[in-house]
Amino acid sequence: MKRRQFLAGTVTIPALGAAIATASVLKDRHAAWFEEWKALREQYAALPSKEAECEDLWNRFEAVERLIVETPATTPQGMAVQIQFAIEDGLVGDACGGEFQGADLNMFRNIAATLEALSAT
């Protein structure tokens, strides 16, 4: 879709829909933040000591965590990432705890899988 087509109103609805979908995927950074969060967590865990020299690493870790949690997702993939983050960060129950002996964990895993599948189509 070209800018002139859009401004002239000659763009077709499928082309406009594809452009909107592409734009929202480009704006939804949750997947990238989640990958960065996991990498930072591994780096922090690998440090021999948790002294002051790792403060920058920890501050970035917390900043990325806030981005994942506080930024509204704009795509099914972004929503799936937020749920995967909640699971991986222990924000939902495990097999022994949580609601109904881990049923909430299974529910969130199922929601994330469905959202991922929807984003692949």
In the chain, where are the structural domains located? Answer: 1-28, 29-120
Read off the pLDDT of residues 42-64 as tens digits, 9 standing for 90 and up: 998 888 876 766 888 889 999 99
Read off the pLDDT of residues 66-119 as tens digits, 9 standing for 90 and up: 999 999 999 999 999 999 998 888 887 765 555 566 677 787 888 888 888 888
Q: CB of 73 within 8 A of CB of 32?
A: no
Bigger pLDDT: 105 vs 15: 105
Residue from 111, 43, 45 nearest 80 by CA: 111
Q: How many CB atoms lie within 10 A of CB 108?
A: 19
Is the pLDDT confidence value at 120 over 50?
yes
Per-residue confidence at 121, pLDDT binned at 50, 70, 90?
confident
Q: Please state, in angstroms and as integers, the Cα–Cα distance from residue 37 to each residue in 60, 76, 78, 104, 109, following that order.
A: 9, 19, 14, 23, 19
* pLDDT value at residue 98: 56
Between CA 35 and CA 118 the distance in angstroms is: 20
* pLDDT value at residue 50: 67
Question: Which 8-state DSSP code applies to residue 6?
Answer: H
